[in-house]
Structure 1
Amino acid sequence: MNADDRKGLAGAAHVATRLPAQDLDRARRFYSERLGLEPVDERPGGLLYRCGDTEFALFRSTGASPGTFTQMAWTVEDIETVVSELGRRGVVFEEVDVPGFRTRGGIAEVEGNYPSTGARGERGAWFRDSEGNLLGIGQPVV
């Protein structure tokens, strides 16, 4: 990699998601009790989590998420098992029934989603955290 390749975001070490939280204590409980995640670092204004080789942070915010789009998602190998386990922990999955898009048991079949992954589609499920952030789970369909 030459010096020109490192200019801008292309040379960034990694990408990390930041999610707003009006109540960090409430958010911490949700991520721990419902998702089984514990922060790897915490500061007065935020919590840092790691999943595999990626990370995301919750930061104290007076604003609220609109929750109208997926703000962060995990890729899993067995979405049915993950949805079942999270449901057992009290996570409520979104149910959608609109033309061309329907969930069954919280899981939707999405044709042709994310072609860059080499998959022909994806199975997806969505839920909201304690702060109203819309989060997703996806399993590529190969």
Structure 2
Amino acid sequence: MDSELVVLASSAATTVVGLLATDAWEQTKVAVTALWQRARPEQAEAIEGELLATRTELLAAREAGDGGAEEELTVEWRTRLRRLLAADPALERELRGLLAELPPVAPSTDRGNRVEMQGRASEHARIYMSGGDMHITGP
């Protein structure tokens, strides 16, 4: 599998799981279920159920202060999304569109110092990324 698709699946999983614990959970459920409906209609109902189960487990884990549960749930969704993209790499555009439609995930305080970034440059573009302060000097 292309490393870019792996990064996309990872980013999407982080976003989906993070949003399931917010007011945007319904929008997230509808968007992800619709993606599955287009890609694998026979699995769409089961995926909707998995999203609801993930939300329930995530909320309970956050209530209990179990930060590891969110990471485990994210890994599960990363695997699902990687399999979906591996079976049909053309879904990359749809998954990117889905992520563009969803609100950004606010950083979670129980993830420690983990920073996840993604950047893409072409031609002569430059990308500067930082998980903290950044000071650039020179031309």
* TM-score for the superposition, normalised by structure 1: 0.30
Q: Could you say which structure has the greater relative contact order, defined with CA pairs below 8 angstroms and 6 or more residues apart?
A: 2
Higher strand share: 1
Higher helix share: 2
* TM-score for the superposition, normalised by structure 2: 0.31
